[in-house]
Structure 1
Amino acid sequence: MKILSIKTVLFILSIFSCTATLGQSKKKPNIVLIFTDDGGYADFGFQGSKEIKTPEIDKLAKQGVKFTQGYVTASVCGPSRAGLITGQYQQKFGYEENNVPGYMSPSSKLLGEDMGLPLDQKTMGDYLKSLGYKTAFYGKWHLGGTDEHHPMNRGFDEFYGFRGGDRSYFAYQQLPKNHPDKKMENGLGNFEEPATYATDLFAEKAIDFMERNQEEPFFIFLSYNAVHTPMEATEEDLKRFPKLEGKRQELAAMTWALDRACGKLLDKLEDLGLDENTIVVFTNDNGGPSDKNASINTPLSGTKSNHLEGGIRVPYLIKWPEQLKKNASYDYPVSTFDLLPTFYAAAGGDLNDLENVDGVDLLPFVKGENTERPHQTLFWKKETRAAVRDGDWKLIRYSDRPAELYNLADDISEKNNLALDYPEKVKVLFKKLYEWELTLERPLWQLKRSFEKYDNDRMDNYKL
């Protein structure tokens, strides 16, 4: 038997070491999506706020890429989430309206019982699970309240949160009987009220999941209900903002708690040695509702529920130290429906496997490998109200007054309506909007009075 020399042994060991290092560098990235609720465009430090303090999220902004023109697919919670989680315009499968009391579908026996993400639609969780990811969802779901619509039946291995659109940040002393979707739930059907402030608890659940799954790729959808109503903050957090009053003080305190929770999560990624190869995204579901939570969207006009920029343009960050530059910005319009293909491609998936997706993989654009716009045209629609952005031109269609036309390159605040100055541009954009609408499904649910007005024949058997 031939004995190898020490030099040869060392050479062989070096090959094994290089191979191991190469294998480690090619490990699929972990993915953490931090999705907040009803945040104002200007209510974060990295967005220019001087009174709302967000040091941890500001740090995240400096560690990654800031999208200066980040959009959502809808100006209200439910449809926006449906577009995000499926990577497409949610109107294509009829998810145009918010799934809240007062709306109904023609097939409902009880008001709103089947208003959820259609079961034939694949989610981020579904796609990433198919690539070997462990998946978890924490916080606000708002994509259907029945068991068949439950996160753990829609691609997620674990869930802690609530099925509906809002709830208290503290434990209910008496559970809301008429709104079971407000109950806090651990897994499927195991209801347990939170022992601590919900914002902190959601981050704790996500941290625990990371610790238990750090040896394999994971995807965490951390869906905070902060800073959505009800306006509830801890006394300790309120005391941090003595110069503010009323809702503005409550908003500042709730945002501080949100920032603290995000910071703990990001610190844990670093402690576990996972931060370099983890994609972290921070964004929000729609514009801030200035009436309900005193949010500020400046320099944008508009608020939640409308199609002015303040309703649909949101803070939007992405960090991936192994792949993306620090403290960078990207200035072309992007959408939250781009996140699904971006995550899927980063995880090693073939984009051709995605079904009906309207989003694109953002990484080649952010890296400068593709210098074109990710999207020449973007659309929004709710009932008869709609908007289309083509290049820097934006048309807003209303149900009760003439359309408005803006050039966002010169007028981010949408103060100068150019519709009368450029009638041909109005016609062109109206045509684009109509052609897009022809590809959409009819809304699966509408306000009850809408069905009574237009669908009396389908309402004959409906009983309240």
Structure 2
Amino acid sequence: MKLPRQVFLFLVSFFALINGWAQDKPNIVFILSDDAGYADFGFQGSKEFKTPELDKFAKNSVLFTQAYVSAAVCGPSRAGLLTGKYQQKFGFEENNVPGLMSKNGTTGDDMGLPLDQKTMADYLKEQGYKTAVFGKWHQGNADRFHPTKRGFDEFYGFRGGARSYMPYGTDNETKRDEDRLERGFGEYEEYEGYLTDGLADEAISFMERNQKNPFFIYLAFNAVHTPMEAKEEDLKKIQGLTGKRKTLAAMAIAMDKACGKVLNRIKELGLDENTLIVFTNDNGGPSDSNESSNNPLSGTKANHLEGGIRVPFLMSWPGKLKPNTVYNNPISTLDLLPTFVTAAGGNVSGIKDLDGVDLIPFLTENTTEKPHETLYWKKEARGAVRHNDWKLVRFPDRPAELYDIKEDISEVNDLATEHPEKVRELYKMLFNWELTLERPLWQLERRFEGKAAERMDTYRKHKS
């Protein structure tokens, strides 16, 4: 049946409007590295590690000098950034999944990101986005925690927290399902090459298939997390380094090249002018296990000194954010969800208990206001609070310590005895915040707390 001309023109205009509305929404590409050292990038000042692609990206980005994660280890850090909330609010304390003990008898694979929590992918799907995650999930191994049930249309990666960069053989009976590469839900498919390359290829394929629709990509590299496995061609490029540090530098080369492939393809597809891109890391580098460097910060992954919780952070959005600029106020990866959802046209004001903020106004408007005056961290008896430039670190095995972070980025001058009133003030703030939290849904064996303290003490900076 032939449509009347007026109806035909109305439908053409309507669909053109809808298409234009969709195209106005920025694509969002979020790249997360794993266990990288704070200092192990060229744009962070490294002379040993070569990261030319990310260095080039940094020149087109805003570089944040005081970016924090909400946890000093992988799983809870990701739970925080995926929800925009302190993960302790819903019982996902700084303990990776699966943990070893729980208050309700939950064990093993049944530990994961609680199902009553919506992810950034959930919210972006509501705004018409195609969504995908490639790489490490680490939010629960059970089927009900699967990425495709948490807002992501596509998934290629592994459910667990670490795996080989090389393909597993056909004898997969010896491998746990959470370590195997999975396409979609329940279809296991190994990448026949170096995994870092494969994850970049998957992200590019997704962009090519969805370039007419606004899309969200969460590219969660497992690089440079252990195991220490690098390509021979990259190892040959490393001069002056030995052992794990050499292998780490080669792994960083592969990740940098993979990032470059993705970033270059965005431009080749003509999407660069309408794509918001973020690169950051999930926690501080674990210097004892992969010889990463967090200089000039004290501490490492798994503790609340700056080396455990401060991370490299770059953000680019052409036409919105001024390139090659530096932002010096504290931010948090909790800010990613409200930033992304607001950029997509969503309204985050109704999200209960949201702790992150939309960063764009702080970068585009002439304001002296800070995104956060106060930030918190907690793992069982350990905790920390940063309020403006003062930071209190609470320990289970020694008195609390107080630092002026603006003047003492390396945390070598403990001012607790000089400012007992400030210790009391911040200690009370931390305690009052803890009163708002859920009890941890699971915990780890106590021996891991001892290891965290040992790692912290080993990698502290000292007065010269």
Same fold (TM over 0.5): yes
Aligned to 1:138: 134
Aligned to 2:353: 356
Is 2:273 the counterpart of 1:303? no
188-197 or 211-220, which moves further after superposition?
Answer: 188-197
Is 2:206 the counterpart of 1:209? yes
- CA shift, 1:172, in A, is 1.5
Cα deviation per residue 1:8-34 (whole Å; 9 max; x = unaligned)?
A: xxxxxxxx9xx99x9579700000000
Is 2:66 the counterpart of 1:31? no
Aligned to 1:313: 310
Aligned to 2:432: 435
3-state SS of paired residue (2:337): helix
Distance 1:444 1:270 in 2: 44
Is 2:411 the counterpart of 1:418? no
- CA shift, 1:193, in A, is 1.5
3-state SS of paired residue (2:108): coil
| Paired residue type of 2:419 | Y
TM-score normalized with structure 2 length: 0.90
3-state SS of paired residue (2:315): strand
| Paired residue type of 2:112 | G
Alpha carbons 2:30, 2:279 under 8 Å: kept: yes
Aligned to 1:156: 152
- CA shift, 1:351, in A, is 2.1
Aligned to 1:46: 43
- CA shift, 1:104, in A, is 2.9
Aligned to 1:115: 111
For 1:185-196, what aligned pairs fall within 5 Å after superposition?
Answer: 185-196=182-193
112-121 or 237-246, which moves further after superposition?
Answer: 237-246
Alpha carbons 1:65, 1:317 under 8 Å: kept: yes
Aligned to 1:232: 229
Is 2:372 the counterpart of 1:379? no
Cα deviation per residue 1:341-389 (whole Å; 9 max; x = unaligned)?
A: 0001111111223232100000000113432011010000011000000
| Paired residue type of 1:194 | Y
| Paired residue type of 1:325 | K
Is 2:327 the counterpart of 1:330? yes
- CA shift, 1:114, in A, is 1.1
Aligned to 2:71: 74
Identity %: 64
Is 2:148 the counterpart of 1:181? no
Distance 1:404 1:55 in 2: 38
Structure 1, unmatched stretches of 5+, are 1-15, 451-464
Is 2:419 the counterpart of 1:397? no
Aligned to 1:91: 88
- CA shift, 1:196, in A, is 1.2
Cα deviation per residue 1:246-287 (whole Å; 9 max; x = unaligned)?
A: 101110110000000000000000000000110000000000
Structure 2, unmatched stretches of 5+, are 1-12, 448-464
Alpha carbons 2:22, 2:214 under 8 Å: kept: no
Distance 1:272 1:24 in 2: 19
Alpha carbons 2:141, 2:159 under 8 Å: kept: yes
Alpha carbons 2:98, 2:140 under 8 Å: kept: no
Cα deviation per residue 1:58-91 (whole Å; 9 max; x = unaligned)?
A: 1111101000000000000000000000001000
| Paired residue type of 1:405 | L
Relative to structure 1, the CA distance from residue 427 to residue 239 in structure 2 (aligned partners, 3 Å threshold; closer, same or farther) is: same
| Paired residue type of 1:382 | K
Distance 1:46 1:101 in 2: 35
Cα deviation per residue 1:157-209 (whole Å; 9 max; x = unaligned)?
A: 00000000000000122436463211110110001122111000000000000
Is 2:232 the counterpart of 1:241? no
Distance 1:24 1:112 in 2: 44
Is 2:250 the counterpart of 1:253? yes
Distance 1:295 1:108 in 2: 37
Relative to structure 1, the CA distance from residue 134 to residue 23 in structure 2 (aligned partners, 3 Å threshold; closer, same or farther) is: closer
Aligned to 2:220: 223
User: What is the aligned length?
Assistant: 431
TM-score normalized with structure 1 length: 0.90
Aligned to 1:293: 290
Distance 2:68 2:298 in 1: 14
| Paired residue type of 1:83 | G
| Paired residue type of 2:138 | H
Distance 1:102 1:350 in 2: 35
Alpha carbons 1:105, 1:114 under 8 Å: kept: no
- When Rg is computed on C-alpha atoms for both structures, the one with the higher figure is 1
Is 2:371 the counterpart of 1:367? no
3-state SS of paired residue (1:283): strand
Alpha carbons 2:95, 2:444 under 8 Å: kept: no
Distance 1:418 1:441 in 2: 31
Aligned to 2:451: none
Alpha carbons 2:71, 2:309 under 8 Å: kept: yes
- CA shift, 1:337, in A, is 0.4
Relative to structure 1, the CA distance from residue 167 to residue 347 in structure 2 (aligned partners, 3 Å threshold; closer, same or farther) is: same
Aligned to 2:276: 279
Distance 2:86 2:419 in 1: 28
Aligned to 2:124: 128
- CA shift, 1:322, in A, is 1.8
Distance 1:267 1:404 in 2: 45
Distance 1:406 1:171 in 2: 46
Aligned to 2:455: none
3-state SS of paired residue (1:351): coil
Relative to structure 1, the CA distance from residue 57 to residue 424 in structure 2 (aligned partners, 3 Å threshold; closer, same or farther) is: same
3-state SS of paired residue (2:288): coil
Relative to structure 1, the CA distance from residue 149 to residue 101 in structure 2 (aligned partners, 3 Å threshold; closer, same or farther) is: closer
- Of 389, 406, 422, the residue aligned with 2:403 is 406
Alpha carbons 1:105, 1:112 under 8 Å: kept: no
